[in-house]
Amino acid sequence: MKAGIVVFPGINRERDMAIALKNSSGHAPRMIWHKETDLGDLDLVVLPGGFAFGDYLRCGAMAAHSPVMRAVHDHASRGGYILGVCNGFQILTEADLLPGALLRNASLRFLSMDCHLRVERRDTVFTSRFQTGTTFRAVMAHGDGNYFADGATLDRLEQEGLVAFRYVNSAGNIEPEANLNGSARSIAGIFSPNRRVLGLMPHPEDLVDPLMGGTDGKPLFDALAAA
């Protein structure tokens, strides 16, 4: 799968993401400046983590109006794959490519620590290398990761199987203590209805090498590389 990473001003995990993608695919992804308007023949567009435009105004709000986003919308409507992590997830919600919003963490503090995510389904291009119900570790590093949507939207996400990952304890169970940022229904990541757009808060790209503490995030990139 041919991948590209969008670089907005203030993004800071584009290098981590490039390392993870190259680690699994053998190919360095294309880096796309946010003022570019042509995504070419990319199969996968990645919106990485960071603080696009300083997260001033509202996380992801300004990035959602960058010139590149028209092409990202076109890519989505053509059925292209999109992965948004952390700030990238926030941008996807601001751009209406995914529903809901990311609010301040319930603790009102930045949270930087490992968390456990449960894979809710594996019949997607992103999750095919995980087992359904399996849990994996990922690094969370955000101040605004508290997923919020109205009840009807949450119900729809659940009914249509669009919840990708939930925060769980290491045994794989949902509990308030494991839902560190206070997300609605412990939701850590969601899919678009065609399951080709994935947004999640924690960073699988920071656990793809045993030296950095584990390879829990690698199956996601292996799956994308193989697709």
Partner 1 sequence: MTKPLERDVNQQLASEFGLSAEEYARVLAIMGRTPSFTELGVFSVMWSEHCSYKSSRVWLKQLPTKQPWVIHGPGENAGVVDIGDGLAAIFKMESHNHPSFIEPYQGAATGVGGILRDVFTMGARPIANLNALRFGNPNNPVTKRVVDGVVRGIGGYGNCVGVPTVGGEINFHPAYDGNPLVNAMTVGIARKDKIFLSAAAGIGNPVVYVGSKTGRDGIHGATMASTGFAADSEEKRPTVQVGDPFTEKLLIEACLELMATDAIVAIQDMGAAGLTSSSVEMAGKGGVGIALNLDNVPARETGMSAYEFMLSESQERMLMVLRPDRQEMARGIFEKWDLDFAVIGELTDTGRLTVMHNGTLEADIPLAPLNDQAPLYTRPTIDTPKREKLNPARIEDRMGLTGALKVLVACPDLCSRAWVWDQYDSTVGGMTVKRPGAADAAVVKLEGLARGLALTTDCTPRYCLADPELGGAQAVVEAWRNLTAVGARPLAITDNMNFGNPEKPEIMGQFAAAIRGMAAACEALAFPVVSGNVSLYNETEGRAILPTPAIGGLGVLDDVTKAVGLALPPWLDLVLIGSTQGWLGQSLWLREIAGREDGSPPPVDLAVERANGDFVRTRILDGTIRACHDVSDGGVLVAIAEMAMAGGVGVRLSTHPRDVPGHAFWFGEDQARYLIAVPDSASVLRAAETAGIPATRIGTSGGKDLTLPDGGTISVDELRALHERFFPAWMDG
Examine residue 37 and tell whether it contacts partner 1 (CB under 8 A). Answer: no
Catalytic residue among 86, 115, 116, 142: 86
Q: Quick one: which segment of 91-99, 115-123, 159-167, 207-215 binds partner 1 (CB under 8 A)? A: 207-215
β 81-85/197-200 pair status: parallel
Examine residue 211 and tell whether it contacts partner 1 (CB under 8 A). Answer: yes
Task: Please list every residue from 51 through 80 that binds partner 1, using CB under 8 A.
Answer: 51, 53-56
- The correct pick among 27, 57, 67, 107 for binding partner 1 (CB under 8 A) is 107
3-state secondary structure of 133: coil
Other beta carbons less than 10 A from residue 150's beta carbon:
11
Q: How far is the CB of 12 from partner 1 (least distance, A)?
A: 2
d(C-alpha 117, C-alpha 134), whole Å = 8
Q: Quick one: which segment of 24-32, 46-54, 151-159, 161-169 binds partner 1 (CB under 8 A)? A: 46-54
Binding mask 148-167 for partner 1 (x = CB under 8 A): --------------------
The two three-digit tokens of residue 103, written as one number: 């609010």
Examine residue 3 and tell whether it contacts partner 1 (CB under 8 A). Answer: no
The two three-digit tokens of residue 64, written as one number: 């959602």
Task: Tell me, yes or no, if 115 is annotated catalytic.
Answer: no
Examine residue 170 and tell whether it contacts partner 1 (CB under 8 A). Answer: no
Examine residue 206 and tell whether it contacts partner 1 (CB under 8 A). Answer: yes
Tell me how far apart the terminal alpha carbons of the chain are, to the nearest angstrom. 6
Among 52, 13, 8, 42, residue whose Cα is nearest residue 208: 13
Other beta carbons less than 10 A from residue 212's beta carbon:
13
Among 94, 102, 98, residue whose Cα is nearest residue 146: 102
Question: Closer CB to partner 1, residue 83 or residue 197?
Answer: 83
d(C-alpha 114, C-alpha 111), whole Å = 9
Q: How far is the CB of 147 from partner 1 (least distance, A)?
A: 20
Residues 6+ apart with CB under 8 A from 154: 184, 185, 187
**Annotated catalytic sites, by residue?**
86, 203, 205
Binding positions for partner 1, rule: CB under 8 A: 9-10, 12-13, 15-16, 19-20, 49-51, 53-56, 107, 109-113, 139, 141, 143, 203, 205-206, 208-209, 211-213
